[in-house]
Amino acid sequence: MTISIQWAELARAAKAASEQAYAPYSKFPVGVAVQAKSGKIYTGCNVENASYGGTICAERNAIAAAVVAGERQFVGLMVYTPQDQLTPPCGICRQVIAEFFTPDSPVRSCNHLEQQQEWTLEQLLPSAFTPLFLANSKKF
């Protein structure tokens, strides 16, 4: 069964989530919307901390919200930032995305100019180290 990704709804939800971001240090609000295989959409925003290591990215917030709701498989992810340059997920978020998305899963970025760019997870994180990778690897 092929799931239709609701890109327009993901873009609207990600933009709305960015408006809730807590970004007093970077002034870089980020919103993310993920669509689960079930069709449901979950959102997250970045929540900064004076101790930067304590900052939680929007991608991880959205995925965590979905996991709390019982979701484990996703079909699409949209990142929104209110700037001219389109922004893909950071490195740690790419690893978290790899836990729940397939290598060919689309990841998109959009901005206030209504521009979009798409990558596959494999393009963002080639040869990701995930449970799927471990299940298919040979024992040492």
**What does the buried/exposed string (b/e) look like for 26-64 if buried means 16 or more CB atoms within 10 Å of the residue's CB?**
eeebbbbbbbbeeeebbbbbbbbeeeeeebebbbbbbbe
Which residue ranges make up the annotated binding site?
A: 46-52, 57, 90, 93
Annotation marks residue 59 as catalytic = yes
Identify the active-site residue in 9, 59, 118, 122.
Answer: 59
Backbone angles phi, psi at 106, to 5 degrees: -80, 135
**DSSP structure class, residue 85:** S
CA distance 77 to 65: 14
In the chain, where do the E strands start and end?
31-36, 41-45, 74-81, 106-111, 116-120
Catalytic residues: 59
